[in-house]
Amino acid sequence: MILEELLNKPGEWFKGKGPDANIIISSRIRLARNLVDIPFPKRMKPLQVKKLFEKIREAQEKSSFLRGFEFLKGAELSPLDREFLLERHLVSQEYANYSQDKALLLRKDEVCSIMVNEEDHLRIQVIKSGFDLQDTWEIANRADEEFSRTLNFAFSFNLGFLTSCPTNVGTGMRASCMLHLPGLIMTKRINRVLELISKLSFTTRGFFGEGTQAIGNFFQVSNQLTLGLSEAEILSNLSGIIKQLKSQELQAREYMLSRYRLSLEDKICRALGILKNCRLISSSETLSYLSLLRLGMDLGIIKNLNTELLNYLFIMIQPAHLQKIYKKNLSHQERDSIRAELLREKLERVYIS
């Protein structure tokens, strides 16, 4: 099964090789689409779900681009499988909570995943490493065009694409970037920055997207407006915000280095010491310390550590990943113990400059 294959390799989006990947972890485009002759997901009956799946499979078979995607029925996924997919940012929290009448189209490199019958009939999602919104959009648009050759999408010439949630009507597009902002957190500037973003009709979410808290100093910034704006305008507006956030974060880091270097080094060194010597550690605590290691690596304080290894650890220490590796359900303490062992092994040769 494709999920077992994913365990043995990092997804493209967290390889840390894209533009500005030290601060901008990933770029994501999500498109919401619905078919004209089937009710929205909340009102669908079992026979209509079956009809939707058949139409999606038909469209997939007719497209050379989509044919390479794996089609996974939600009813055949265990709760652990769904949590695993959520941890890799391939499905939403809603999909992970309940997927009996849902499906997933998944490309093996994890760049593109398509949720079927989540909030909308289709949720096309593309994630790439670093600050690469334009290329990310082009892949999402290609998938959209391939489906539209076979499927008739619900569309109004006055409003645009029709969606289950009114806030997605229009382009049906949500563009976002995941950023690592420890400097703004430590200098206590983050609240002011987030307030400004909100006033400009952008929203911020946590590491796992909608409904989650910001952990490990990671924030996902996305557009709120989809109606009355073109895709190009949404991308341009978001790019401007992301560039400003990057500039603010770099300024905050320079300020900390010039004013509080010793205190900053102490925080980073303590984080490395705990991760290299702990025997029990939770996932949330690990994310906080890995965030400090990432900052230390970017500032040249931590040596013999690369972005790909750090991003690998951010994912592999998550509860479902640990249980998939060991092929069994693990208690909290068992996970905390195995997580600590994994960290000690992977960080053994990392040191302070």
Cα 38 from Cα 51, distance rounded (Å):
8
pLDDT at residue 4 in the model: 82
Residue-wise over 312-351: b if at least 16 C-beta within 10 A, else e?
bbbbbbbbbbbbbeeeeebeeeebbbbbbebbeebbeebe
pLDDT at residue 3 in the model: 83
pLDDT at residue 205 in the model: 83
CATH 3.30.590.10 domain residues, the chain: 2-249
pLDDT at residue 352 in the model: 86
Read off the amino acid at residue 179: L
Its pTM stands at: 0.92
> Are the C-beta atoms of 71 and 103 separated by less than 8 Å?
yes
Which of 137, 172, 185, 166 minimizes the C-alpha distance to 292? 185
- Residue 187: exposure state from Cβ atoms within 10 A (0-12, 13-18, ≥19): middle
Per-residue tokens: 273? 């010491």
pLDDT at residue 134 in the model: 96
- Residue stretches of the chain with pLDDT short of 70: 1, 10, 207-216
pLDDT at residue 212 in the model: 47
Per-residue tokens: 335? 């996970």
Cα 276 from Cα 273, distance rounded (Å):
5
pLDDT at residue 211 in the model: 46
Looking at domain 2-249, its CATH class is alpha beta
pLDDT at residue 296 in the model: 96
- Residue 280: exposure state from Cβ atoms within 10 A (0-12, 13-18, ≥19): middle
